[in-house]
Amino acid sequence: MLNYPAMPVKLTLLSAGYCNGQENHTLRNGRRVSRRYPALFALLQHPTEGYILFETGYARRFYDVTRYFPNRLYNLITPVTITEEETAVSKLSALGIQPQQIRYVIVSHFHADHVAGTKDFPNARFICSETACIFARNTRGLRALSAAYIPELLPDDFFDRTEILSPASARYRYDEFWVEQYDLFGDGLLRMVPLPGHARGQMGVLVQTAEREIFLAADVCWHSVSFRSMTLPPRTSGLIMDSWSDFVNSLTKVHHYHLTHLDTLIVPTHCQEIANFYNHTY
């Protein structure tokens, strides 16, 4: 059992745009209807480390980098809607937070809907897994596009500003549930856990707030019903994943975590059900 400090993290759930997709493509036995899949991000205020973002959602520059083929295929397959007012940088400005105040951006994985806003935060350092970083640094062209990764969305100095999570890291540790767990600042408030499968090196973060624990679970699934009842997407969706077997394994872990931590709010990035919690600060 972790002993948390007296001052926990403040967390606000927000969204930056959305894409459209078929429900039956993301949920087994889902309806053949088009649904909105919001691009959620979270503002974290750590008691000593300041403002941190988990993801950035979409940004208007996504349209610029997908204007021509082959990148245009991305927007054709999953049509994106994002206005300037809906971007992460605009949402933060409305809260009185300037982009220069963001000290860290946690990147769960490198899909465009998670990193499109990274250029808006010039002072931020980026946190990601070693596996995801190696993939992003070394992947270009059609191979990148097939993995929903568009390198042009990243700042030119992205990798110079990146802090990599690896088994050799000093604050890497183990516990009774997650075989691997990385305590970001050594205080138990932000604990990164691997969730591979959907994308190479994907990670989620367990956040301790004053109100409750919140598990920002990235794209471990697209619907909350998936981790609650272990409902998988159709097997064909595995064609666009990094590893179907790893995806199933990660979702199974989150399912069991849910069953043993019923007070924890588990937040899949694109679940419309989570929209009820947007703009709420924990």
pLDDT surpassing 60 at residue 9: yes
Torsion of CA 25, 29, 31, 32, to 10 degrees: 50
1 is a domain residue:
no
- Does 5 reside within a domain? no
Domain containing 184: what range?
10-277
- The pLDDT tens digits for 211-256 are 999 999 999 999 999 999 999 999 998 888 999 999 999 999 999 9
pLDDT tens per residue across span 192-217: 999 999 999 999 999 999 999 999 99
The whole-chain average pLDDT of the chain stands at 93
- pLDDT for 175 equals 63
- Specify the pTM: 0.94
pLDDT value, residue 169 = 61
Asked, for residue 54, whether it belongs to a domain, the answer is yes
65 found inside a domain: yes
Residue 4 belongs to some domain of the structure: no
Residue 3 lies in a domain: no
Average pLDDT over residues 157-161: 98
Domain with residue 85: its CATH number is: 3.60.15.10
Q: Which amino acid is at 280?
A: H
Instruction: Quickly tell me which residue has 């399912």 as its tokens.
Output: 255
Around Cβ 84, how many Cβ atoms within 10 Å? 9
Query: Would 131 be classed as within a structural domain?
Result: yes
The domain tally of the chain equals 1
- Please state the separation of Cα 264 from the chain's center in Å: 17
Instruction: Name which of 199, 216, 198 is nearest 207 in CA terms.
Output: 216
Cβ-in-10-Å burial (0-12, 13-18, 19+) of 76 comes to exposed
Which has the minimum average pLDDT: 6-15, 40-49, 57-66, 124-133?
6-15
Over residues 12-32, mean pLDDT: 94
**pLDDT more than 90, % of the chain:** 84
Residue 2 covered by a domain: no
Residue type (1 letter), 279: N
**Full 3-state SS string of the chain:** CCCCCCCCEEEEEEEEEEEEEEHHHHCCCCCCCEEEEEEEEEEEEECCCEEEEECCCCCCHHHHHCCCCCCHHHHHHCCEECCHHHCHHHHHHHCCCCHHHEEEEECCCCCHHHHCCHHHCCCCEEEEEHHHHHHHHHCCHHHHHHCCCCHHHCCCCHHHHEEEECCCCCCEECCCCCCCEEECCCCCCEEEEECCCCCCCCEEEEEEECCCEEEECCCCCCCHHHHHHCCCCCHHHHHHCCCHHHHHHHHHHHHHHHHHCCCCEEECCCCHHHHHHCCCEC
